[in-house]
């Protein structure tokens, strides 16, 4: 899986010397760099060679093929010229492996972050009250105006260009979709033998259960040149300070070395320009602070801020006051859904390790700013379940126009 480190993204070619200028102009993280269009490039006087290099690297990043970036760039060929080469030429000139060639030549899609159809679960269970009439269409015009006012950039999709508005539209909830409500989880999967899926809560956590959780900041939001970790030990702070000014998506990570947790973090952070346009922060929550694990996780798989929840308050809130835990044997080996989640992450080319505690399940919260409450809560019922991106983006869109029924502030 391609790293979100800007230094690794630009490599050792013609873009490396451009880093100070990129930082000065606000192009300081990989998802933002990848939405540059020709107007943006001309504004900072990029040469044609630099434009070609950025196009090549954005294309490779989408396909987890960044190891070929320097070689492709030094060839002097543009992306269309590289795509016109035969498999034999790509192998002989650049040492590309057969599987990588197939991925490179596939212009129809980037690395998949969805389950294969054969493993796709049924519709997610409604665990709370259904929403009112779908409002994504009402709020989309508002968000489009906000996007236009914040950025003129264009998201690249393969060799063509696609507007940020269109990227958001790709996540619009389609007609006939049943919104899952404020508390969501994937359905319980049939297990082998007499093993039953553990129960989950069906009510949103009270705001009072999380506002005073003591957290510690481990990393800032990633930008070019920032320190990899907070230099001095950050003092504890109340969790409510995180979303006091701006809404926030908090991803509760079961274990940062877990292949499925890394995949979830990567696919969510890849949409950072959309969340930026919506004015929403992205924050990862860990229940263990293992320095080497944080360094491996950030910014390669996640470029948002990382916080440490020593008391596991967020994780307990997901379980209605108790930690949601499951053994590896029952939760993974005998769970077809978890195995499918693992295969999905494996197909994304993500590496893993087995350091740390991995039985405490995570999830996701979307917090409104100030004391407005919990807008959305997703529970990791099966190891590796993700909150659906379309749903997360819709809720964040609704936050802009106050269309979310928040949890009571009790």
Active-site positions read: 258, 261
CA torsion sign for 244, 228, 272, 359 is negative
How many residues are recorded in the chain?
410
- Please give the Cα distance from 303 to 221 (Å, whole number): 6
Taking phi first (over 0 means left), then psi (-120 to 50 degrees means alpha), and beta for anything else, what does residue 119 get? alpha
Strand 237-238 to 305-308 pairing: unpaired
Write a three-state SS string for 242-272: CCCCCCEEEEEECCCCCHHHHHHHHHHHCCH
Could you identify the residue written with the tokens 């995180």? 242
Task: Cis check for the bond before 264: say yes or no (omega within 30 of 0).
Answer: no
Buried/exposed 180-205: b ≥16 CB within 10 Å, e otherwise: bbbbbbbbbbebeeeeebeebbeebb
Q: Check if the beta carbon of residue 335 is closer than 8 Å to that of residue 326.
A: no
Closest CA to 52 of 34, 74, 79, 71: 79
Return the CA Rg of the chain.
Answer: 21
Q: Check if the beta carbon of residue 184 is closer than 8 Å to that of residue 377.
A: yes
């Amino acid at each position: 899986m391609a790293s979100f480190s800007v230094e690794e993204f630009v490599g050792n070619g013609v873009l490396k010397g451009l880093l100070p200028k990129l930082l000065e102009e606000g192009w300081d993280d990989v998802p933002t760099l990848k939405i540059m269009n020709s107007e943006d490039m001309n504004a900072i006087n990029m040469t044609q060679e630099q434009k070609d290099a950025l196009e090549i690297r954005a294309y490779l990043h989408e396909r987890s093929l960044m190891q070929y970036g320097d070689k492709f760039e030094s060839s002097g060929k543009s992306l269309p010229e590289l795509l016109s080469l035969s498999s034999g030429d790509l192998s002989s000139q650049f040492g590309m492996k057969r599987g990588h060639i197939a991925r490179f030549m596939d212009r129809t899609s980037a690395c998949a972050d969805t389950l294969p159809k054969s493993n796709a679960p049924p519709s997610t269970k409604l665990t709370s009250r259904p929403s009112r009439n779908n409002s994504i269409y009402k709020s989309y015009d508002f968000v489009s105006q906000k996007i236009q006012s914040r950025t003129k950039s264009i998201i690249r999709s393969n060799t063509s260009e696609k507007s940020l508005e269109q990227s958001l539209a790709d996540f619009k909830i389609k007609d006939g979709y049943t919104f899952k409500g404020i508390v969501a989880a994937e359905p319980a999967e049939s297990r082998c033998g007499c093993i039953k899926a553990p129960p989950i809560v069906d009510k949103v956590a009270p705001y009072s259960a999380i506002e005073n959780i003591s957290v510690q900041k481990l990393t800032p939001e990633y930008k070019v040149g920032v320190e990899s970790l907070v230099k001095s030990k950050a003092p504890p702070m109340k969790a409510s300070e995180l979303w006091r000014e701006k809404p926030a998506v908090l991803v509760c990570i079961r274990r940062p070395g877990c292949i499925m947790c890394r995949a979830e973090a990567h696919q969510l952070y890849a949409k950072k320009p959309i969340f930026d346009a919506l004015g929403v922060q992205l924050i990862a929550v860990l229940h263990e602070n293992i320095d080497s694990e944080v360094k491996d996780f950030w910014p390669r798989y996640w470029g948002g801020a990382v916080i440490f929840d020593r008391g596991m308050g967020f994780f307990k809130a997901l379980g209605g006051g108790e930690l949601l835990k499951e053994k590896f044997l029952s939760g993974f080996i005998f769970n077809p859904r978890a195995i499918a989640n693992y295969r999905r992450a494996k197909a994304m080319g993500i590496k893993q390790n087995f350091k740390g505690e991995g039985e405490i399940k995570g999830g996701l919260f979307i917090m409104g700013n100030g004391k407005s409450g919990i807008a959305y809560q997703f529970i990791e019922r099966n190891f590796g379940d993700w909150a659906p991106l379309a749903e997360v983006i819709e809720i964040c869109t609704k936050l802009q126009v106050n269309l979310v029924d928040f949890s009571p502030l009790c």
